[in-house]
């Protein structure tokens, strides 16, 4: 039995995914497809965009969650940074891996105060809050200071257009062999170009439908 497959986490995740599926937001209908695409690619209007969608969970899929757990377990991760907490679903998977690795620290960040409250409550219910520090605010600010010297795994799942900037904030702390998992990275061509560049310092490959999986080389 693992933390992920045991109680309370497995039934909690099953319930949270149901709640996530049922969540709606009147704001989403206000955006045309073109406007949504424009906002997803914007480096300046992300706050307004995600703020208008604050009732939506926008969570990783259960498959991606399981992948996160497996990658964190198999790499023996002890120090994890996450960009984009939302209601804490991906955080639960990663914190479960930390618990099963013998403990560690997960720094995650979210600018929507109501989401931070819900994420804290979900992590408490999952018995994992002791491993997690939620930094409330814009990741460009919250991840610009007080990071651990050595980071084993980075999950990018906030505003897609900021993936290159967030990587730059964390990059010098990534240990050789550290994993960087970027969800829906197709929305950030600039990020993909950077991690796939032959001399960019990463080995990188698309994985499944949604994920770009990269490994820091040195």
Ligand X SMILES: C[S@@+](CC[C@H](N)C(=O)[O-])C[C@H]1O[C@@H](n2cnc3c(N)ncnc32)[C@H](O)[C@@H]1O
Q: In the complex, which residues of this chain contact ligand X (CB under 6 A)?
A: 46, 50, 57-60, 84, 86-87, 89-90, 109-112, 115, 138-140, 157-159, 162
Nearest to ligand X of 61, 201 (CB atom): 61
Nearest to ligand X of 162, 192 (CB atom): 162
Nearest to ligand X of 10, 201 (CB atom): 10
Residues 6+ apart with CB under 8 A from 103: 78, 131
Nearest to ligand X of 57, 191 (CB atom): 57
Nearest to ligand X of 138, 186 (CB atom): 138
User: What's the min distance (Å) between Cβ of 7 and ligand X?
Assistant: 21
The two three-digit tokens of residue 133, written as one number: 């520090």
User: What's the min distance (Å) between Cβ of 61 and ligand X?
Assistant: 9
- 3-state class (DSSP) for residue 104: coil
User: What's the min distance (Å) between Cβ of 39 and ligand X?
Assistant: 11
User: What's the min distance (Å) between Cβ of 105 and ligand X?
Assistant: 17
Q: Which of 106, 161, 115, 105 is nearest to 136 (CA)?
A: 115
| CA atoms of 10 and 26, how far apart (whole Å) | 30
- 3-state class (DSSP) for residue 79: strand
Asked if 47 and 37 touch (Cβ cutoff 8 Å), the reply is: no
| CA atoms of 22 and 81, how far apart (whole Å) | 28
User: What's the min distance (Å) between Cβ of 89 and ligand X?
Assistant: 3
Asked if 85 and 91 touch (Cβ cutoff 8 Å), the reply is: yes
User: What's the min distance (Å) between Cβ of 119 and ligand X?
Assistant: 8
- Angle ∠(70,130,75) on CA atoms, nearest 5: 25
Q: Determine what percent of the chain falls in helix, strand and coil, rounding each to the nearest 5.
A: 50, 20, 30
Nearest to ligand X of 84, 127 (CB atom): 84
């Amino acid at each position: 039995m693992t933390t992920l497959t045991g109680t309370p986490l497995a039934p909690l995740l099953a319930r949270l995914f149901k709640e996530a599926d049922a969540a709606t937001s009147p704001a989403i209908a206000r955006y045309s497809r073109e406007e949504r695409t424009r906002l997803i690619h914007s480096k300046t209007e992300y706050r307004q965009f995600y703020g208008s969608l604050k009732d939506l969970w926008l969570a990783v899929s259960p498959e991606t969650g399981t992948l996160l757990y497996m990658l964190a377990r198999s790499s023996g991760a002890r120090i994890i940074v996450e960009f984009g907490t939302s209601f804490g679903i991906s955080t639960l998977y990663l914190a479960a891996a930390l618990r099963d690795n013998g403990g560690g620290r997960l720094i995650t960040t979210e600018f929507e105060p109501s989401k931070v409250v819900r994420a804290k409550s979900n992590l408490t219910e999952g018995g994992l809050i002791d491993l997690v520090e939620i930094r409330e605010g814009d990741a460009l600010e919250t991840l610009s200071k007080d990071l651990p010297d050595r980071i084993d795994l980075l999950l990018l799942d906030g505003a897609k257009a900021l993936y290159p900037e967030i990587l730059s904030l964390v990059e010098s702390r990534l240990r050789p062999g550290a994993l960087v998992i970027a969800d829906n990275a197709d929305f950030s061509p600039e990020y993909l170009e950077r991690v796939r560049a032959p001399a960019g310092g990463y080995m990188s490959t698309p994985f499944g439908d949604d994920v770009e999986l990269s490994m820091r080389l040195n």
